[in-house]
Amino acid sequence: AIVGLQASGKTSFVNVLGTGQWSEDVVPTISFNLRKVKKGNVTLKIWDVAGQPKYRSLWERYCNGVDALVFVVDSADKEKFETARFELHQLLSQSSLLGVPLLVLGNKNDIDGHASVNELIKALQLDKITNRPVSCYSCSMKSQHNLDIVLQWLAARSH
């Protein structure tokens, strides 16, 4: 399941994974989309969940039972880090999601002044998450930077 605040780039991520192509042409998600992406011999079944405030109460429902959680952050929008931190820890406090591996993506690293991985770890208090494996990568859907290691991370959590 892919969650995170609105406009962080969740749908762009799924689009780039699925088509290999970047497009600016993306609309805010309403509720959720279920997407299937085949990469080599792995088929990813992805819940792309909407990030606007009114949809955030849905996140737990779509995260329940998944092999991995991906939390996408706009690393160039530092004013939203506090809200992102709050929503992430709120989600992880749900007992149904105990132990599920977490990948935090600091997206939009093509934009000047974006936060580094270390800044994200601090701002989102990722060091306080002790009840599951946690990884954090800086990436860009636009330039496709680090998409290869993101895909490797996901493939390693499949069964």
Ligand X SMILES: Nc1nc2c(ncn2[C@@H]2O[C@H](COP(=O)(O)OP(=O)(O)OP(=O)(O)O)[C@@H](O)[C@H]2O)c(=O)[nH]1
CB of 95 to Mg ion, least distance (A): 27
x/- map, 15-34, Mg ion, by CB under 5 A = --------------x-----
Residue with tokens 């809200």: 83
User: Is residue 29 a known part of a binding site?
Assistant: yes
Determine, following the binding rule CB under 5 A, whether residue 12 of this chain makes contact with Mg ion. no
Residue pair 1/70 in contact by the 8 Å Cβ criterion: yes
Sole binder of ligand X in the list 101, 142, 146, 151 (CB under 6 A): 142
Pair type for strands 69-74 and 102-107? parallel
To 5 degrees, how large is the angle CA 21–CA 55–CA 75? 50
Sole binder of Mg ion in the list 11, 15, 107, 109 (CB under 5 A): 11
CB of 36 to ligand X, least distance (A): 17
Query: Which does residue 146 bind out of Mg ion, ligand X, none, counting CB within 5 to 8 angstroms by kind?
Result: none
CA dist 3 and 59 (Å) reads 7
Determine, following the binding rule CB under 6 A, whether residue 9 of this chain makes contact with ligand X. yes
Determine, following the binding rule CB under 6 A, whether residue 75 of this chain makes contact with ligand X. no
CA dist 138 and 149 (Å) reads 10
Query: Which does residue 6 bind out of Mg ion, ligand X, none, counting CB within 5 to 8 angstroms by kind?
Result: ligand X
Number of residues lying near Mg ion (CB under 5 A):
3
Shorter beta-carbon distance to ligand X: residue 79 or 127: 79
User: Is residue 11 a known part of a binding site?
Assistant: yes
To 5 degrees, how large is the angle CA 144–CA 146–CA 150? 105
CA dist 141 and 121 (Å) reads 20
Pair type for strands 69-74 and 32-39? unpaired
Annotated binding site, which residues? 4-11, 29, 51, 107-110
